[in-house]
Structure 1
């Protein structure tokens, strides 16, 4: 079954200008923390929750970056679910926590913008 799924990302920037990235265990690619919005949750609440779950970083939202979609980026899961996601991307600042690996991310770090080209990041995420 195909679906359009709303998701939220959080572009967390630290005091040194570093961008919080996680390396996803399922693809090996680096990405902003984010994921599917839950029932009864706002897009902003989703971004904050996903950031904490995926990176160990507690963040507050300071702005809204935009809504991003790529009609050519279709995600097909092994259970048969097919998605064409669109993502609400917020800007945030860390207020607590420590970068922590978990069952979704095997790497979590703040990366300077000048160093992003050295990271394997999906084209849709780079957008």
Structure 2
């Protein structure tokens, strides 16, 4: 399914759905942050996705991390709720979502970075190297909030 992101873009279509999603900002023992390169946008992002019925938001973050990166992780903290009405994601099937993400902090305990049908790159990145990666501004905000210690973010 095709995907187009709009970020503070006056030409963005009007949202027609609000879907709860969760991200997991995983940090390894060396302080590097787990990122995946999305096949649909080519940008690097935290692992995450839509919450399924029957799971908590935190369970969603852990599941999405494993599915999208091959890394087994656990939640160690809460980063924040990110609900920017100026961040719109339009899908080729006509769904137009307003951003709604519960972001968690986690640590890895197993697995290895693995590409899949959603991510064509998975790696741990040191904070000093983040500027070398094309990371969507909404993900950069979450990473920056974590690095600055300004969480939980409730916006």
Regarding TM over 0.5, the answer is yes
Specify the alignment match of 2:105 in structure 1. Answer: 91
TM-score by length of 1: 0.97
Specify the alignment match of 2:19 in structure 1. Answer: 5
Aligned mates of 1:122, 1:108 — CA distance in 2: 16
SS state at 2:85 partner: coil
Aligned mates of 2:30, 2:138 — CA distance in 1: 25
SS state at 1:71 partner: coil
Specify the alignment match of 2:74 in structure 1. Answer: 60
RMSD of aligned residue pairs (Cα, Å): 0.9
1:69, CA displacement in angstroms? 2.1
1:50 aligns with 2:64: yes
Structure 1: stretches of 5+ with no match in the other structure = none
1:103, CA displacement in angstroms? 0.1
SS state at 1:80 partner: coil
1:124 aligns with 2:141: no
The number of residue pairs the alignment matches comes to: 127
1:95, CA displacement in angstroms? 0.8
SS state at 1:114 partner: helix
SS state at 1:11 partner: strand
1:33 aligns with 2:57: no
| Cα deviation 1:47-80 (Å, max 9, x = unaligned) | 0000000000000111111111221111100011
Structure possessing the higher relative contact order (Cα contacts under 8 Å, 6 or more residues apart): 1
Runs of 4+, deviation exceeding 6 Å: none
1:113 aligns with 2:113: no
TM-score by length of 2: 0.80
Structure 2: stretches of 5+ with no match in the other structure = 1-14, 142-155
